[in-house]
Amino acid sequence: MPGLVSCPHCDRLYSNHSLQLHISKCKDNPNAVRRFSVVLKKSTNVKNPRPRTRSLSRPAGDEFRLCYVCGQRMDEKNVGSHEEKCLKAWSEACDRLAARFESRPPMPLMIPSVDGTSDSRRLNEHASVQATKAQTLRCRRCSAKVPLSSADQHRCTRFDPPVEYFF
Is 158 part of any domain?
no
* Distance separating alpha carbons of residues 112 and 53, to the nearest angstrom: 29
- Most confident range (mean pLDDT) of 25-29, 62-66, 112-116, 131-135 is 131-135
Per-residue pLDDT tens over the stretch 38-47:
545 555 555 6
Question: Quick one: 127 and 81 in the same domain?
Answer: yes
Query: Mean pLDDT, the chain, as a whole number?
Result: 80
Which range of residues forms the domain containing residue 93? 65-150
Structurally, the chain folds into a number of domains equal to 2
- Distance (Å, whole) CA 84 – CA 81: 5
Q: What percent of the chain has pLDDT over 70?
A: 77
CB 90 within 8 A of CB 134: yes
* Model confidence band, residue 17 (pLDDT cutoffs 50, 70, 90): confident
Whether residues 74 and 141 fall in one domain:
yes
Residue 105 belongs to a domain: yes
Q: Please check whether residue 159 lies inside any domain of the structure.
A: no
Let me know whether 145 and 78 are in one domain. yes
Q: Who wins on pLDDT, 111 or 83?
A: 83
- Would you say 26 and 7 are in contact if contact means Cβ atoms under 8 Å apart? yes
67, 86, 124 from 131: Cα distances, Å: 7, 11, 10
Span 31-60, average pLDDT? 59
Q: Which of 24-38, 50-64, 80-94 has the lowest mean pLDDT?
A: 50-64
Q: What is the mean pLDDT of residues 145-159?
A: 85
Rounded CA-CA distance 66/13 in Å is 59
43 within some domain: no
* 7 and 83 part of one domain: no
To 10 degrees, the CA torsion angle through 95, 98, 103, 106?
Answer: 10
76-108 residue pLDDT tens: 888 889 999 999 999 999 998 878 899 888 998
Q: Is residue 60 part of a domain?
A: no
Residue 5 included in any domain:
yes
Whether residues 25 and 94 share a domain: the answer is no
